[in-house]
A and B are shown apart, each in its own frame.
Chain A
Amino acid sequence: MSSLALSLPPLAFRRVLWRFPEAWVWAVSIGCGILLLLPVSTAAEGHHHGHPGPLELSRFLWHWIPMVFAMMVPLQSGQLRLVAQRSLWRRRHLAMALYLCGFVLPWAACGLIVWAGTQYLPIPPATWLVLAAAWQLTPYKRRALGACHRTRTLSPSGWPANRDCLLAGLLASRACLASCWLLMAACGAFAHGLLLMIGLTIFMWVERLADRPRQVVYATALLGLAGVMVLLESGKHH
């Protein structure tokens, strides 16, 4: 059966998936990015002290989860490809899906905490960025960033394989949270402001792919961004 199917000229997308099994994850992430562009429950609602105010939990998560997929999941593409490569062929996409579950669940929990923060302890986005700048200068940040690249062995089949994929995602999420949670909190506190999300996405890619540690430069960039946000907010007041 399979040999007959495979003897037919493979479709282009199938050939892409052979070599880049994580391609569908990219498609999901791009879809989530487009979703965030749609003009539904945007930051325009409920301004509070000059910046977007708190959102209902459901609306908050409606943005938070796509934001995680659009901003954080693509950073895992190398890990996802490795998870697929280290899995039996018939399990490749299941393995990636389980890894994604393990990766997204802690981020969803983080979203709940950030939402609670916006409700009961409203911290301006610029303050989150200042905290993120300070976090950049600690050895914990650098260690967490290094841990984002870590790989783990997977059992080849059965429930141990499912468990290992889920666990790999959870552990990757832990490192990713330690590295980037303040940046994502800033986005959440800004009710997912689009320009801030784009700016921080670029920032996280640069930081992740950098060939040398530039903690001071990164911290300065985040302080600059915080300053821009303060200026914009004060401009709105006037």
Chain B
Amino acid sequence: MRIRRNVHNLPVWDPILLWYAKAVRAMQGRPLVDPLSWRYQAAIHGYIRASDPLQIPGETLPSAVQQATFWSRCQHGSWFFLPWHRAYLLYFERTVAATVVSLGGPADWALPYWNYADLTNPDARRMPAAFQQQALPDGSPNPLFIPRRSGAANANQLVGSPGQASDASCLGKPLFENNGVVVQFGGGATGFAHSGRVPGECERIPHNTMHGAIGGPTGWMSAFETAALDPIFWVHHSNIDRLWELWRRSATTHLDPAAPAWETGLSFDFHDVSGNPTSIRAVDVTDLTAPLLDYDYEGMPPAAVAGPLAAVGGLDMSDATPVPELVGATAAPVTLSANPTHVSFAVGEPAGPLTLALAPAEAGAAAPSVHLVLENVKASRFPIESYEVYVNVPAGQDAAQFPQLMAGILPQFGIVEASQADGEHGGDGINCSFDITGIRDALRAEGSWNAEDLRVSFLPCRYPGDYEEVIEMAPVEVGRVSLYYA
């Protein structure tokens, strides 16, 4: 069994990292048309010829059919996000491992993972040193070093904020599948979806936020079609994959979907270690001990789950799963800028089945949860700023002084591709949902929750680096800010 190690527990040039670097260099030397080449592997996640930073004029491309079958297949905003990326990592890892062996390295090479949320390590958010060094120990260029990253990533600074790196929110989610606007660990039911709808919490934070924090406004990690060209992509995703397994093992109730639509509804195309086409389904990648996978993570607790799949499938008609209900929204799009932006809108009371929970006779019932949803968020270029979203900050006050009112961080990974109407990703922009029940409860307890009027503030936080010289401010448009009860 392969063991994926914590990269921050390894010396700078541990053999795992040194062999990774050598294998990356070897794969980079293969032509784009080779399925086992570095660029082909990255293109499986996303590829746009016009924005390929490594394109060589006149080079041979795979056939149009091959491109359509294998390239730009990433799944986001979908309950396939986790299984697709696990399969993607699996075949990539086996390809790198085979390359390591061909170069004379060990047979048990495995991808390390970057646990940036490790609260016991004050340096957890620093880019692993091997990815910052410009040269290997022998003095040759280091293929793990990519200049196109955020200012912090290559300057040995802490990358992103604690909130962007945190895994606490996603690991605390009780279920895998989103229920409409109610976000759970793994995402909502979709078909094949490049951008999908509201992502699962693990996809939003830390996945999307750390993509943006590592890549910054101009880095490869910030766009679908270039992200996997950066060797840190795979180490980042190794951590996301670890979080899925950690979530599964942390409670007997943490179960993957049992719906056939998720388990076997779609099969995804990849290339095996020999470069031959192969396909794989979600159900094929749920058990790390299965012969196909056969890997585990360093520091992982034993499984708390006795059986791998026991969740109820089919249509959920139970009253325990509330029907989300819109109670208010902005009437026009909101444009975010380099300055704080505030927007207010009227909020009503639920009028549907949620009134049962509000009725006096049901006083003992739990009050509906409250969810702030940002719909169809678009940008033509990756923004210089990330945005923290606050609720009901008093007018004229600095939102940063009210951390208890922060609903969450607006992630922007893939926002440009998702905004292109003619692109592979639909043109819908991105969506995200924040559970602000805790904020509502706290404000209600101190008597300052106004149930009829909601004020939402967007506080820009500039990515580290002097980007004014590189690009102009790219405005972000939020199609609608809305409030749901569920």
Residues of A within 8 A of B (CB): 2-3, 6-7, 10, 15-16, 18-19, 82, 85-90, 143, 146-147, 149-157, 160, 209-213, 215-216
Q: Mark B438-459, 1 if CB is under 8 A from A, else 0.
A: 0000000000000000000000
Q: Are A7 and B68 in contact (CB under 8 A)?
A: no
Q: Which residue on B lies nearest to A161, using beta carbons?
A: B331
What A residues does B197 contact at CB under 8 A?
A: 82, 151
Q: Are A6 and B353 in contact (CB under 8 A)?
A: yes
Q: Which of B315, B323, B355, B422 contacts A3 (CB 8 A)?
A: B355
Q: B325, B359, B424: which contacts A6 (Cβ < 8 A)?
A: B359
CB distance from B382 to the nearest CB of A (A): 22
Q: Contact partner of A7 among B317, B356, B426, B427, CB < 8 A?
A: B356
A3 to B355, CA, bound (A): 6
Assess whether B427 is in contact with A147, with CB atoms less than 8 Å apart. Answer: yes
Asked if B352 is an interface residue, CB under 8 A from chain A, the answer is yes
- Smallest CB gap from B483: residue in A: A156
CA gap between A151 and B480 in the complex, in Å = 12
Q: Which one of B22-30, B131-139, B264-272, B407-415 contacts A?
A: B264-272
B 72-101 binary contact with A (CB < 8 Å = 1; else 0): 010000000000000000000000000000
The residue of chain B having its C-beta at the shortest distance from the C-beta of A15 within the complex is B317
B461 in contact (CB, < 8 A): no
Q: Which residues from A are CB-within-8-Å of B323?
A: 18-19
- For B69, the chain A residues whose CB sits under 8 A away are 212-213
Which residue of the partner chain B has the closest CB to A90?
B351
Shortest Cβ gap from A133 to chain B (Å):
16
Q: Are B333 and A85 in contact (CB under 8 A)?
A: no
The answer to whether A151 and B376 have CB atoms under 8 Å apart is yes
Among candidates B332, B350, B375, B482, residue contacting A89 with C-beta atoms closer than 8 Å? B350
Q: Are A7 and B359 in contact (CB under 8 A)?
A: yes
Query: Which 9 A/B pairs are nearest by Cβ-Cβ distance?
Result: A153-B479, A211-B192, A156-B329, A89-B351, A153-B480, A89-B352, A211-B266, A3-B359, A155-B331
For chain B, what secondary structure do more than half of its interface residues adopt (helix, strand, loop), or is it mixed? Answer: loop
Given the complex of chains A and B, what is the CA–CA distance between A74 and B181 in angstroms?
A: 23
Number of A-B pairs, beta carbon distance below 8 Å: 98
- A147, B192: Cα distance in complex, Å: 14
B376-A88 in contact (CB<8A): no
Name 30 interchain pairs, CB-CB below 8 A, sorted by A.
Answer: A2-B355, A3-B355, A3-B356, A6-B353, A6-B356, A6-B359, A7-B359, A7-B361, A10-B353, A18-B352, A18-B353, A82-B197, A86-B375, A86-B482, A87-B326, A89-B326, A89-B352, A90-B351, A146-B427, A147-B421, A150-B421, A151-B428, A153-B376, A156-B326, A156-B328, A156-B331, A211-B191, A213-B68, A213-B69, A216-B65
A156 to B269, CA, bound (A): 41
- Specify which of A149, A209, A215, A216 lies most central, judged by the most chain B CB atoms within 10 Å of its CB: A149
Tell me whether A88 and B356 are in contact in the complex, defined as CB-CB below 8 angstroms, given that A150-B428, A151-B376, A153-B376 are known contacts: no
A152–B376 CB distance below 8 A:
yes
B376 & A212 in contact (Cβ 8 Å cutoff): no
Contact B267 A6 (CB under 8 A): no
Give every chain A residue within 8 A of B355 (Cβ-Cβ): 2-3, 6
Residues of A within 8 A of B73 (CB): 212
| Interface presence of B348 (CB below 8 A) | yes
Q: Which residues of B contact A7 (CB under 8 A)?
A: 356, 359, 361-362
Cα A59 to Cα B421 with chains together (Å): 39
Determine if A211 and B350 form an interchain contact, defined as CB atoms under 8 angstroms apart.
Answer: no
Q: Which of A2, A143, A212 is the one whose CB lies under 8 Å from B68?
A: A212
B180 at the interface (CB under 8 A from A): yes
Any chain A CB within 8 A of the CB of B18? no
Closest to B194 in A: A146
The closest CB in chain A to the CB of B373 belongs to: A86
User: Does A85 lie within 8 Å of B375, measured CB to CB?
Assistant: no
A150 to B428, CA, bound (A): 6
Separation of A150 and B192 alpha carbons in the complex (Å): 14
How many angstroms between the C-alpha atoms of A87 and B317 in the bound complex? 21
- A210 cross-chain contacts in B, Cβ below 8 A: 192
